[in-house]
Each structure stands twice: as structure tokens, then as C-alpha cells.
């Protein structure tokens, strides 16, 4: 059995690694990007409402509602972060 080492190396280099995302598919990366955009938009809306309330352009009810939404978004982001870190640590504990 004759194996051409150069050809095998070239085919190996041309193969898509298993960790590389599929081209054209959004997958989890697109979902996380959308979540990050929504999170940033929520924080910006809360900040804009707080600024408007400071100069008297927004009523107190809108300010409380914006602050509650911002707090909920931050708590959700912290929960997701904690779950990701926990999953990563669990993967590190797996025997090889």
C-alpha cells in the first residue's frame, strides 16, 4: 500500500476542521449576536429614558419600567454567562 504523504497532507489541510462553523449557516453564533444586539438596545433604551427623566421629559412610570427591563436584561446576561462558565468547567473535568 503506497501512501502519498504530500497528497495526504494537502487533503488534510483542505478539509474543513470539525470546529469551524458551516459556511452560510447562522447557527448559535448568529443567535448569540442577535441576543447581544437586543441586550445592547435594551441598555441604550434604559439609558435614554433615564436621561429624559433627569431633564423632566419622561414620566416616573416610564423610568421605573425602563430600569426594570434593564435590570432583567442584566440578570439574564449574568445567568447565561454563569451557565456557559459552568458548562466549560464541566467539559474541562471530563476524562480524556
d(CA 94, CA 96): 6
Residue 29 in domain: yes
Residue 12 in domain: no
Contact assessment for residue 31 and residue 37, using Cβ atoms and an 8 Å cutoff = no
| pLDDT, tens digit (0-9, with 9 covering 90-100), for 8-37 | 667 766 776 666 666 555 677 788 888 889
Residue 48 in domain: yes
Neighbours of 73 (CB within 10 A): 19
Residue 6 in domain: no
Count up the domains in the chain and report the number.
Answer: 1
Q: Which domain holds residue 87?
A: 23-93
pLDDT at position 30 is 82
Residue 18 in domain: no
Helices (H), the chain: 5-14, 27-54, 60-93
Residue 82 in domain: yes
Average pLDDT of the chain to the nearest whole number = 83
Residue 75 in domain: yes
Amino acid at each position: 500500500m503506497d501512501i502519498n504523504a504530500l497528497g495526504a497532507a494537502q487533503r488534510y489541510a483542505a478539509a474543513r476542521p470539525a470546529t469551524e462553523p458551516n459556511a452560510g449557516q447562522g447557527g448559535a453564533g448568529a443567535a448569540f449576536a442577535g441576543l447581544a444586539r437586543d441586550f445592547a438596545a435594551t441598555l441604550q433604551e434604559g439609558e435614554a429614558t433615564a436621561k429624559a427623566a433627569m431633564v423632566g421629559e419622561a414620566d416616573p412610570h416610564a423610568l421605573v419600567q425602563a430600569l426594570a427591563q434593564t435590570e432583567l436584561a442584566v440578570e439574564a446576561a449574568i445567568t447565561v454567562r454563569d451557565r456557559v462558565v459552568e458548562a466549560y468547567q464541566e467539559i474541562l473535568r471530563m476524562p480524556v
